[in-house]
Structure 1
Amino acid sequence: MVPCLFLNPIDDDHHVGAVVAVRQHAGNYALGKSELAGLEGDPQMAFAVELAESGVPTLVPDLLGFEDAQDLMAGGSTLQGGHTRDIAVATSWLEACDEVQGPLGIVGHSLGAQVGCS
């Protein structure tokens, strides 16, 4: 299980493509998906909201160790391996989502960029 928020644009039911938005590390494990969704933390980090408002469906996961996934363990894997698994689960969900048709992407900076490149 990967705790996520799905920000779906309200302009129509089907969109071309979608993104997974990943939060920076910043030494703050209490925040994750909520900051990118503009619910907590630094409002300047709420880029998932801006993506959704511009028409891009955006899935925001809590990677292993952050926010609602703080208590989950890597299960014998490396932390990077756990994060890569979380992104695989998130993209699989988007691929199965009826509201999303087309290519998928990943966006983030700092830890988000590291995970996106793995």
Structure 2
Amino acid sequence: MDDFHTSQPIFVQIRQRLAEMILRGQVAEGEALPSVRQIAGDLSVNPLTVTKAFDALVDIGVVEKRRGLGMFVKPGGRAELLSQEREKFLAEDWPRIAAQIRALDLDPTLLLTHINDDQGHHHE
């Protein structure tokens, strides 16, 4: 995992990484996510920070805590996360991106062809 950047709180960045793991299907529904202790160790952060990131995903119904077992992706969790992330993107990120596209006088059609070109390069 890359280093943290200062523009967002660390727990938000950890939440985002967990969300990406779920969205990419690296952790399937019903499967366990890495433990708080493991993530805290890997990233050299306070376990409370990691717990806070998990809590954010528990609050929106994507992850559940199983006593003594850890954190698991809930059934339907990926779809729930996807819908929330799409709404967030459209409400928060897209207006800013659209404004930047206009400001830089970029051709949206050209951008879309770049998106499709790029997909071939992300084999996991």
TM-score range, shorter chain: under 0.3
TM-score (norm 1): 0.27
Larger Rg: 2
Higher strand share: 1
Bigger relative contact order (CA 8 A; separation at least 6): 1
TM-score (norm 2): 0.26
